[in-house]
Amino acid sequence: METVVSGIRPTGKLHLGNYFGAVSNFVRLQQEHNCYFFIADYHCLTTHPVHVDMQNNVKSILVEYLACGIDPDVSTLYVQSDVPEVAELYLLLNMNAYKGELERCTTFKEKIKKQKDNINAGLLTYPVLMASDILIHKATKVPVGHDQKQHLEMSRTFARRFNRLYNRDYFPEPHAFNFGNSLIRIPGLDGGGKMGKSEGANNAIYLSDTPEEISKKIMRAVTDSGPIEPNQKKPEAIQNLFSIMKAVSSSETLTYFDDLYSNCKIRYGDFKKQLADDIILFTSQLREKISEISDDEDYLKKVMKQGAEKAHQNAAKTIREVREIIGFRN
Ligand code: AMP
């Protein structure tokens, strides 16, 4: 049995990228491993320093985690800021994280282009906080999407560096994980890039979107005037819609439209209608569960309390050991 850790920032509702890149794997992993799943509210402050609706956003991710099938009696499901030991480990790991390596991080470079007037230290040290989330539980498996691959490499670097500096084989090396051969990347609907919470309102399909919203977003998704030669390579915007279809539709449906594209017979209207119908079908059960669970405030409070206690217990043990290794008094 391995230890698994993963989290999602509460900066918006869960979308299909979060589901396929992370949460669907959480649900499968919890059967066989010791799992810690958290809501990354500290991380939010790197992009949203004044969070207008923190508690509601935390609640909505918690509800969606539960609706997707995370069992709080099997996994440890908690809110990051309920476990301040994470912040202590972050401080300690920051002492051995170097400016150069942090500045070279692709997500840092992307983020500073997007928020030129708020290039804060938290943004630079985001991978250190992520490493702390993982190493605090000494996890070896981290179910994440393709966008987190480089961060995971950095977590391994920080673990190795700590072990080398203090001459102990203390932290295991964590690895990014997805069922299947490679890490998943669900693209957005705007023709380029990944599906994401901060990429614009119509870029993402959220698990809680109504059927009408889903249809509208898919029908509006960027396409082109259609293939002009048989077997031509699909441009990015079209390939993106096929990638989403691959995630939600049957393989027969995918092959059917792929063949139509290759023969230049595809009609994007039909293709998009099928894609929208399949997403609606795929998300219908989740949507029902989301609305059912969100009304049960007592249950949600109980889940958060239980998760905080379980996560705190394990994190406190790691911090005690780390302080001892470094040479602080406990
Ligand atoms: P975030 O929404 O950025 O906090 O990401 C939470 C989790 O969802 C991480 O494990 C990401 O790797 C995963 N994720 C986010 N967007 C996508 C995407 N478009 N495709 C695949 N995985 C994703």
The model's pLDDT over 19-66, given as tens digits with 9 standing for 90+, comes to 999 999 999 999 999 999 999 999 999 988 887 789 999 999 999 999
Ligand 1 centroid, distance to 149 Cα (angstroms): 11
| pLDDT (mean) for 209-228 | 94
Q: What is the pLDDT of residue 201?
A: 73
Res. 210 pLDDT band, cuts 50 70 90? very high
**Could you tell which of 4, 9, 16, 18 is best to mutate to test the pocket of ligand 1, judged by most ligand atoms within 8 Å of the CB?**
18
CA distance 118 to 48: 10
- Give the residue numbers annotated as catalytic, written as ranges: 111, 194, 197
The β-bridge partners of 182 are none
Q: Is residue 189 part of a domain?
A: no
Tokens 């009696």, residue? 73
Same domain (yes/no): 15, 43: yes
Res. 6 pLDDT band, cuts 50 70 90? very high
Q: Is residue 185 part of a domain?
A: no
Say if residues 159 and 174 touch (Cβ distance below 8 Å): yes
Q: What is the pLDDT of residue 52?
A: 77
What is the number of structural domains in the chain?
2
Ligand 1 centroid, distance to 8 Cα (angstroms): 7
Answer yes or no: is pLDDT of 330 > 90.
no
Answer yes or no: is pLDDT of 213 > 90.
yes
Q: What is the pLDDT of residue 180?
A: 80
Q: Is residue 282 part of a domain?
A: yes
Percent of the chain scored above 90 by pLDDT? 89
Same domain (yes/no): 129, 156: yes
Q: What is the pLDDT of residue 48?
A: 87
CATH (domain of 260):
1.10.240.10
Q: Is residue 259 part of a domain?
A: yes
- For 145, residues 6+ apart whose C-beta sits below 8 A from its C-beta are 17, 18, 20, 21, 22, 178, 183, 184, 185, 186, 194
Ligand 1 centroid, distance to 145 Cα (angstroms): 5
Same domain (yes/no): 30, 133: yes
pLDDT tens digit sequence for 159-202? 999 999 999 999 999 999 988 878 899 999 988 788 988 777 78
Same domain (yes/no): 71, 144: yes
Residue nearest to atom 11 of ligand 1 (CA): 145
**Could you tell which of 15, 46, 148 is best to mutate to test the pocket of ligand 1, judged by most ligand atoms within 8 Å of the CB?**
148
Same domain (yes/no): 154, 37: yes
Residue nearest to atom 18 of ligand 1 (CA): 17
Domain extent, residue 264, equals 197-291
Same domain (yes/no): 60, 85: yes
Ligand 1 centroid, distance to 224 Cα (angstroms): 27
Query: Which secondary-structure segment (H or E) carries 78?
Result: strand 76-79
Percent of the chain scored above 70 by pLDDT? 100
Same domain (yes/no): 58, 10: yes
Atom of ligand 1 at shortest distance to CA of 14? 2
CATH (domain of 155):
3.40.50.620
CA distance 241 to 235: 10
Q: Which residue would you say has higher pLDDT here, 138 or 225?
A: 138
The whole model's pTM is what? 0.91
| Torsion (CA) 86, 88, 91, 93 in degrees, nearest 10 | -70
Token pair listed for 38: 């958290």
Query: Which secondary-structure segment (H or E) carries 66?
Result: helix 54-68
Same domain (yes/no): 279, 307: no
pLDDT tens digit sequence for 75-90? 999 999 999 999 999 9
CA distance 270 to 274: 6
Which residues are near ligand 1 (CB < 6 Å)?
A: 6, 8-9, 17-18, 20-22, 144-145, 147-148, 184-186, 194-197
Q: What is the pLDDT of residue 262?
A: 96
Q: What is the pLDDT of residue 310?
A: 97
The CB-based long-range contact list for 283-286 (8 Å cut-off, 24+ gap) reads 283/205, 283/207, 283/209, 283/214, 284/211, 286/64, 286/67, 286/68, 286/207, 286/208
CA distance 81 to 39: 9
Q: Is residue 170 part of a domain?
A: yes
Mean pLDDT (the chain) is 95
CA distance 128 to 314: 19
Q: Among 151, 80, 62, which residue's Cα sits nearest to residue 111? A: 151
